[in-house]
Structure 1
């Protein structure tokens, strides 16, 4: 129900309604130059009420974003992911300040993405946008807003800040694998971990979390079903996502080398105390082996072995679907997005091969 009154030459509209519990609510707005403008405001408000919109709720967007994170995301995230959200909450608070959720439209949000993208790489912008988009969907479900202001937004980013993905050529990967294999001994755990990464493409925490019952020596497989928390020392944790649980086929040589570590083959394969900076110790060992192998890759680190594994499989003509499953990605689109650089490179090589074959027709 709407009422209108004129005060000091300006019109005011007041809309009254009762909620599901019968409680009376009112919302008013003054300052309209004409009664027609006041009626239009009241009609729009009543239309939103008819759609189930909570017109009395209009939180500060930054506050809503933080509360949404704490309610729907924080309880289910690993520590690294929590840190990403925490950083993005600070960004939202800084840019949006006290701006109310209902006052944000698509053009304002697009300008935010444009401004933020000037100083950030594609991946950083994409992550922040994805988080805000999920939050806005929650606001729609809560009936606070009726339009998705993140819809159809164009990505904007600083291409000069893009990280170049370091990986090894086939020859370099073979040289590294030989150097590491020649230096294996039960007291040199980093060497074994590097070798597992070369042959499986598994993540650092996944390799640390391997137990002997994850290995099937007869089927020649390694089961990835957990991780080891080397950051906060909480022991075993779930994999990065449910899709990261997977079984990887490996070669006999790797399995025979792992057998050197434990005669009983019980418990964790890499039974080490992950004291602070253990990952740095492994990365230092990797730098040493790269140097011995005559490989100069300044930005190369342990996770680069995962990239090298993918590059090698692509070079050998392994299907992208099989690679995606081996990496533990939810779908091929994730793999193609992450490794677009590799895929484009091998596509060019394939195109050259196709052209050369067509010339022989």
Structure 2
């Protein structure tokens, strides 16, 4: 799939293909004065490819096919963070598999790779690498290059010592943070408002940056999440992380009162525009958050803006909110995503719930002396 990008005073079309020896090549064509002209060329290129240009050899090197899949199907539409993950995974595959071809790999060989890689990497890293590779293999099946998914039902091995626990604030710390924020709100500096919004909604930073006044319903006490902020390209709206991320969040009166302060001094579309007519960046809000935690004497190593989302979840779990409701509030695709990310948090509250279950079962077992007990004689 050709990609189009701004190049100088015009536009450039770029695409990747493989020769008969399985070697990857990149081709570009520049000089298009308009984006429409570039799109027209790209469309014709796709037709030419469809009509006979063979981009993939019959049995490519596995690592080469991974690169082809990334450049053709993923690169044009993914964010920089995910692109870096593909590039790192590509280096790993080239180093480990070398000239090994796609068709020659079976489940035992792939399991051996996972064993090797997982020995020195954390669980989350192994899961992400495996998901990228599995998508590549499934695409190869669609291309009729192989017929079996050799990544299916492998055991994901990882180094447990490298796993990082989700950092979050406890209930007392959350209350102290909220009290501090509400006492230091200044409409000139909107980072404080963004931090408060994150604590009380669990929304992602990009979702908060992109909020407009049309997203806030003061009557129904809700905030609609329908877009995200494109920080990597200098601002502007983009789609949310997934389709499931589009959601409506119930919010409390105190948050709405705080946002009303901004509304009274803001005639623009975006909620969190500061006195410099810009949206605070990730580094700006994180710098402010670290400063506030220092003032409060709260020491949390590695705590950052996204940790406020984790703190929101921890609080809801502590109050007995159902995990399905939490999952919908967070905008996860399904409950399994939530339980995977917050598994150890849920384990912490499981002990508390287990004790409550025992007490409730004891209530069932306790005999009420007013109820006669029949015995068989």
Instruction: Report the TM-score when normalising by structure 1.
Output: 0.81
Assess, with a 3 A threshold, how the Cα gap between structure 1 residues 207 and 325 changes in structure 2: closer, same or farther. Answer: same
Aligned to 1:200: 201
The more displaced of 266-275 and 229-238 is: 266-275
Kept in 2: contact 1:62–1:92 (CA 8 A): yes
2:266 counterpart of 1:269: no
Following superposition, the deviation at residue 338 of structure 1 comes to 0.6
Following superposition, the deviation at residue 283 of structure 1 comes to 1.1
Kept in 2: contact 1:110–1:153 (CA 8 A): yes
Kept in 2: contact 1:121–1:159 (CA 8 A): yes
Following superposition, the deviation at residue 72 of structure 1 comes to 1.9
Alignment of 1:10-21 (within 5 A): none
Kept in 2: contact 1:209–1:227 (CA 8 A): yes
Kept in 2: contact 1:230–1:274 (CA 8 A): no
2:305 counterpart of 1:333: no
Following superposition, the deviation at residue 302 of structure 1 comes to 0.6
Following superposition, the deviation at residue 76 of structure 1 comes to 2.6
2:254 counterpart of 1:225: no
Kept in 2: contact 1:179–1:292 (CA 8 A): no
Kept in 1: contact 2:272–2:279 (CA 8 A): no
> Matches of 1:257 and 1:116 in 2, distance apart?
48
Aligned to 2:112: 111
2:81 counterpart of 1:80: yes
Kept in 2: contact 1:60–1:101 (CA 8 A): yes
> Matches of 1:274 and 1:240 in 2, distance apart?
26
> Matches of 2:147 and 2:302 in 1, distance apart?
47
> Matches of 2:181 and 2:206 in 1, distance apart?
20
Aligned to 2:168: 167
Count of aligned pairs: 307
Aligned to 1:140: 141
2:240 counterpart of 1:239: yes
Following superposition, the deviation at residue 277 of structure 1 comes to 8.9
> Matches of 2:191 and 2:317 in 1, distance apart?
26
Following superposition, the deviation at residue 241 of structure 1 comes to 0.8
- Write out per-residue CA displacement over residues 187-232 of structure 1, whole angstroms, 9 at most, x where no aligned residue: 1211101000000000111110111111011011111111112233
Alignment of 1:117-156 (within 5 A): 117-156=118-157
Of 295, 299, 303, the residue aligned with 1:300 is 303
Aligned to 2:250: 249
> Matches of 1:126 and 1:92 in 2, distance apart?
15
The 3-state SS of whatever aligns with 2:240 is coil
Aligned to 1:287: 290
The 3-state SS of whatever aligns with 1:103 is coil
5+ long unaligned stretches in structure 1: 1-55
2:178 counterpart of 1:177: yes
Aligned to 1:313: 316
The more displaced of 304-313 and 179-188 is: 179-188
| CA RMSD in angstroms, aligned pairs only | 2.0
Kept in 1: contact 2:211–2:225 (CA 8 A): yes
Aligned to 1:57: 58
Kept in 2: contact 1:213–1:266 (CA 8 A): no
Following superposition, the deviation at residue 172 of structure 1 comes to 0.8
> Matches of 1:260 and 1:166 in 2, distance apart?
30
> Matches of 2:135 and 2:73 in 1, distance apart?
10
Following superposition, the deviation at residue 359 of structure 1 comes to 4.5
User: Which of structures 1 and 2 has the bigger CA Rg?
Assistant: 1
Following superposition, the deviation at residue 146 of structure 1 comes to 2.2
